[in-house]
Structure 1
Amino acid sequence: MSIQELAGQRALVTGATSGIGRAIARSLAASGAEVVVTGRRAELGAETVALIEGDGGRATFVPADLGELDDLERLTDEAGDIAILVNNAGFYPMVPTVALTAAEYQRMYDVNLRSAYFLTAALAPKMGAGSTIINISSTGARLGMEVASGYSGTKGALESMTRAWAVEFGSLGVRSNAICAGLIRTDKLLETFPEEAMQQVSASWPVARPGTPEDIAEVALFLASPRSSYITGTVIVADGGLSIL
């Protein structure tokens, strides 16, 4: 893929201060896009921007708590004209149904679902032909997980909205797709899921390893590029084969 394939395009990546979001932001910038990095933590946002600029790319950081409607509105104003929207921000308390508090449930839906909905509502009508929406889903949307019923519900809804947006905004030339990510080795996940456990769990999968943020970023780059111009309303599963077992 040409290093400047996305030149002249502006991307907004939510939850881009670490993990999958950071990897996607770096990948899009390396292919020529100017990236708006957003998240709650200014120091980590500055790190992401520094990494992108160190690679020769262009990025700016706009701090925002995507669980807050006022921050969402400000973000859409400051982001400017966007051609690539990546709805990646997530909040995922991994607890059984009976242990999830009402406050956690509300924040999970606000961050995982409401933010994607209202960012898309504000930006998609103005994005123009050749633009794309990329939603980051999870295998929780299609597999039963005893400690993730609430989180899985948000991701199932996000996949459904992905298809609806493909129809709704298709006449404007805007494509909408999702990536269903499997077990991805991020610093955040390692806090509760040790490396040894990840390796043991994934050893029997067709691709016998946990994924990396860069694995998901490669799929996002494909979906953002003209090479996927005939793909919309689709969920690409990138889980090492977990969901086919």
Structure 2
Amino acid sequence: MSSKTPSSGLTLQGKVSIVSGSSRGIGASLALELARRGAKVTIVYTSPKSEALAKDLVAKIASLENGSQSITVQADLSKVDAGEKIVAATLGAFGNQIDILVNNAGVMFDKSIHDSTAEDYAAIFDVNVRGPLLLVKAVVPHLKAPGRIINISSVGARCGFERMALYSASKAALEGMTRGLAAELGGDGTTVNAVEPGPTESDMLDDVPKEIVELQLKTTPVQHRHGTGNDIAQVVAFLASEESRWISGQTISASGGYLML
């Protein structure tokens, strides 16, 4: 989608945001939509191979010419110091406050219980659960009230799929964390919510077993299609806005009706 696509106005003008896992796929769409609405965005990527994609996204955001800005940070969310590194770079670029955090970085897992190991458990939970937790911890001292925290979960948190027990468990844990943080951080108006995409066009979709994707499409009421990054971005941008102020501790299924909560 072109960076010139009209947005819903500059509803996030001057806000400072962090989007993890945002060099490609859903994360890139999230970062671009926040920028379309005027936000400054820290684009976080993990692999050096993603650096070029992250820089391309910075160029797209610059081309908006609406006051938004962006920087890139390479950080591995499986490392305990990643959150502090991301926050330090954000504050250095945009000043002493952060308004919006989107925890999008995550890893897929497709292995039977017979083949799963303790090392597999650590690898997926370090990124999908501990990573968001420590990034929130690093952000909170700088979060300007009322802040917005949005965690990207998956329909896998509520549905059972073969060979994906560890992935589902990690995303269910992220939703439990969302509710706990919403209770803990809401006193100043900060909201914490989760968004559950269904099958969505992205590199990660290629890692989902074909039979699962086909079944999901057949049972997705809205147009029987994959979601797009922009479909998810519109939901996240709303949750990042003032208009969502009375929604917290919720999980929103952004899946075309595949999963109806």
Q: Normalising by structure 2, what TM-score?
A: 0.87
Q: In structure 1, what is the Cα distance between the partners aligned to 2:63 and 2:209?
A: 31
1:44 corresponds to which residue? Answer: 53
Q: Which amino acid aligns with 1:206?
A: P
Equivalent pair of 2:16/2:40 in contact (CA under 8 Å): yes
Shift of 1:209: 1.0
Q: In structure 2, what is the Cα distance between the partners aligned to 1:140 and 1:204?
A: 15
**Residues 188, 204 of structure 1: alpha-carbon distance in 2 compared, 3 angstrom cutoff:** closer
Q: 1:193-234 CA deviation, whole Å, 9 max, x = no partner?
A: 66x984674134211111111111110000001111111111
1:55 corresponds to which residue? Answer: 64
Equivalent pair of 2:150/2:194 in contact (CA under 8 Å): yes
Q: In structure 1, what is the Cα distance between the partners aligned to 2:220 and 2:230?
A: 19
Shift of 1:70: 2.6
1:202 aligns with 2:202: no
Structure 2, unmatched stretches of 5+, are 1-6, 92-96
Structure 1, unmatched stretches of 5+, are none
**Matches of residues 226-241 of structure 1 in structure 2 within 5 Å?**
226-241=242-257
Q: In structure 1, what is the Cα distance between the partners aligned to 2:214 and 2:156?
A: 19
**Residues 47, 197 of structure 1: alpha-carbon distance in 2 compared, 3 angstrom cutoff:** farther
1:152 corresponds to which residue? Answer: 168
2:3 corresponds to which residue? Answer: none
2:237 corresponds to which residue? Answer: 221
Q: In structure 2, what is the Cα distance between the partners aligned to 1:172 and 1:125?
A: 13
Q: Secondary structure at the match of 2:98?
A: coil
2:86 corresponds to which residue? Answer: 75
**Alignment size in residue pairs:** 244
Equivalent pair of 1:124/1:174 in contact (CA under 8 Å): no
**Matches of residues 1-245 of structure 1 in structure 2 within 5 Å?**
2-40=8-46, 41-56=50-65, 57-80=68-91, 81-190=97-206, 198=213, 201-207=216-222, 208-244=224-260
Shift of 1:48: 1.9
Q: In structure 2, what is the Cα distance between the partners aligned to 1:142 and 1:199?
A: 18
Equivalent pair of 2:108/2:204 in contact (CA under 8 Å): no
Q: Which amino acid aligns with 2:37?
A: S
**Residues 148, 197 of structure 1: alpha-carbon distance in 2 compared, 3 angstrom cutoff:** closer
Q: Normalising by structure 1, what TM-score?
A: 0.92
Shift of 1:82: 1.2
Q: In structure 2, what is the Cα distance between the partners aligned to 1:103 and 1:51?
A: 38
Equivalent pair of 2:179/2:249 in contact (CA under 8 Å): yes
Q: Which amino acid aligns with 1:6?
A: L
Which moves more between the two structures, 39-48 or 139-148? Answer: 39-48
Shift of 1:14: 0.2
Q: In structure 2, what is the Cα distance between the partners aligned to 1:30 and 1:94?
A: 35
Q: Which amino acid aligns with 1:45?
A: A
Q: 1:27-61 CA deviation, whole Å, 9 max, x = no partner?
A: 00000000000011322221221222233342100
Q: In structure 1, what is the Cα distance between the partners aligned to 2:62 and 2:120?
A: 35
Q: In structure 2, what is the Cα distance between the partners aligned to 1:144 and 1:200?
A: 13
